[in-house]
A and B are shown apart, each in its own frame.
Chain A
Amino acid sequence: MEALISFSNQFFKPILSLGGPPVMFIVLTLLALIMKVKFARALEGGMKLAIALTGMGTVIGILTGAFAPALQGFVKSTGIQLSITDVGWAPLATITWGSAYTLYFLMLLVILNIVMLVMNKTNTLDVDIFDVWHLSVVGLLVMYYSNNNLFLASLLVLFIGVLKFINSDLMKPTFNELVNMPESNPTTTTHLNFMFNPIAMVLNKVFDIFLPFIDKYDFDAATLNKKIGFWGSKFAIGCYLGVFVGILGQQELKSIFSLAFTGGVCLELFSFMGSWFIAAVEPLSQGITNFMSKKFAGRQFNIGIDWPFLASRAEIWAAANVLAPIMLIEALFLPGNGVLPLGGIIAMGMTPSLLVVTRGKMMRMIIIGALMLPVFLLAGTAIAEFATKTALAVGAFPPGIAETQMITHSTLEGPVEKFIAIAVGKFGGNMTIENAIKMVTSLVVYLGLFVWYAKQMKKRNIELAAKKQN
């Protein structure tokens, strides 16, 4: 055994010491080759991933470097500690795709998908390879808090993976209704943001029972979005945030302008670099899809893609736009929060779930959203230390930034799963009775809520089917 360890150390150490981008360049290229992707395409993917990792690190550096003095000034003058920089989804995706464990979790989930399809426990064939990073965050969090207990991390990823596949089947009739798809259309999604549905459904139930009159005040989302126009675009939001942070940090006018334009540049660049990531994983995604569809040739299934097929519903954007200033105010006053919303201020990690649960009732989406945003902010705060250290470890964090400067994503999908991952990880790191109780309680409540939600959805699906027949 020792010989094996020393051999693998001798073999892998020099490769690992190359740092994040070169390692992922090698790993992704090799993996795509294993999935029978052509050499040139595989190499292209590997190179794009390394470039995306490098580019994202640079943009994080620009943003945190520019905002750090103002944020420190803000802390000094007010005593409010909102010193964690919210870099939005793209850098977090970079961090997770910079870890080879993401590819390992991807393999686990592909195997899980095959097993569940064979056993008829799901009808969903998941081809959304890129979004594995959301569950990878969960796995990596367990690893972070448990001194790298890969076994526990794998178990939790598989557990949530099972629920995700079941959820995608449960939501399919609602998707058909929301975007007017015929039954024959196989589109569905296994995206982690819909694992927020059970909690949203609890609040939706409260509306059903106590406040049904609120639906009378619903308004047209498309008209609102049209009115908002460019004021809600990425660069504009980046500019407001720069001004906001500059004023809070009591900066000079010149610095405020500079912060505004830096904010605008960075929000645009984050999403630009984000697109490199997706392009990087493209050859591998195609390889896995070819493999899966060959294995299940002839079977009818739903196909899980990324959630944006729902983006045609204007409510997602209208709710997110209205919630943005609400989140900013909540962030200032929420006890325990350390995040100033920035890159994640458009709460796309939440509004698609609200759309599905309320079926597009705007007033409910906004009120439930406002009540639930604190969960996202607190989860964002809770994962900041992990995100920062992992960014450093995979080379996605730039040098020259103060070590106290932490990064996170304020509206990262699956906030509840982050807390569960931390509970599981802490148990793995320190197996005391107290930690075991915390872990088991959180898992039982999580599963219990999901089971209740599944029953509600099944009831709804029967109603939807009956409505269609009439």
Chain B
Amino acid sequence: MIKVLAACGAGVNSSHQIKSAIEEEMSNRGYQIQADTVMVKDITEELLLKYDILTPISTPDLGFKINIPIVEAGPILYRIPTMSQPVFDKLEETIKSLNK
């Protein structure tokens, strides 16, 4: 099971769209994914320890180094398949590189 953390401004709108899109597409591609959502401002170093990949709407400056792979997921929100495809591809590549 790969654990993904989707982050956006209020932790309600964009991150939930990213979460459901990632879970749906990655399960279609045969991966077991569990995605959670969070407000960007609530991300802490401890929280990130529980996740394999961070998928923020755009890469945030948190005041500390992010030690897990980041896949920017903003384009998923355009809802246009040709634009969200590269995000899913990058995510798949990242999952493979985790060797889990």
Q: Which of A's residues lie within 8 Å of B, judged by CB?
A: 89-90, 127, 130, 179, 181, 186-187, 220, 222-223, 225-226, 229-230, 232-234, 271, 274-275, 278-279, 282, 285-286, 289-290, 293, 303, 305-314, 316-317, 348, 352
> With A226-B64, A348-B10 known to touch, is A282 a contact of B17 (CB < 8 Å)?
yes
Could you write out 23 A-B pairs with CB less than 8 Å apart? Answer: A181-B58, A186-B78, A186-B83, A222-B61, A222-B63, A226-B62, A271-B10, A274-B12, A278-B12, A279-B20, A285-B79, A306-B13, A308-B14, A309-B58, A309-B77, A311-B8, A311-B9, A312-B56, A312-B57, A312-B61, A313-B61, A314-B60, A317-B41
Q: B14 to chain A: which residues have CB within 8 Å? A: 305-306, 308-309
In the complex, B3 has a CB within 8 A of chain A = no
CA distance A310 to B57 in the complex (A): 9
CB distance from B17 to the nearest CB of A (A): 7
CB–CB B58/A179 < 8 A:
yes
Known: A274-B12, A278-B16. 11 other contacts (CB 8 A): A130-B13, A186-B83, A234-B39, A271-B11, A306-B8, A306-B13, A310-B9, A311-B41, A312-B40, A312-B56, A312-B57
Interface positions of B from 1 to 33, Cβ below 8 Å from A: 8-17, 20
CB–CB A225/B11 < 8 A:
no
> With A285-B79, A305-B78 known to touch, is A317 a contact of B40 (CB < 8 Å)?
yes
CB contact between B80 and one of A275, A293, A352 (< 8 Å): that residue: A293
CA distance A328 to B31 in the complex (A): 48
Per DSSP, chain A at the interface is helix
Q: B62 to chain A: which residues have CB within 8 Å? A: 222, 225-226, 314
CB–CB B37/A275 < 8 A:
yes
CB distance from B21 to the nearest CB of A (A): 9
CB–CB A303/B58 < 8 A:
no
Q: A233 to chain B: which residues have CB within 8 Å? A: 41-42
CA distance A289 to B78 in the complex (A): 8
Q: A186 to chain B: which residues have CB within 8 Å? A: 78, 83
Q: Which of B's residues lie within 8 Å of A, judged by CB?
A: 8-17, 20, 37, 39-42, 44, 56-64, 74, 77-80, 83
A/B pair count, beta carbons within 8 Å: 111
Q: A305 to chain B: which residues have CB within 8 Å? A: 14, 74, 77-78
CA distance A282 to B63 in the complex (A): 33
> With A229-B44, A275-B37, A348-B9 known to touch, is A308 a contact of B16 (CB < 8 Å)?
no
> With A179-B58, A282-B20 known to touch, is A90 a contact of B12 (CB < 8 Å)?
yes
CA distance A308 to B39 in the complex (A): 10
Q: B10 to chain A: which residues have CB within 8 Å? A: 89, 271, 274, 308, 311, 348
CB contact between A308 and one of B8, B42, B64 (< 8 Å): that residue: B8
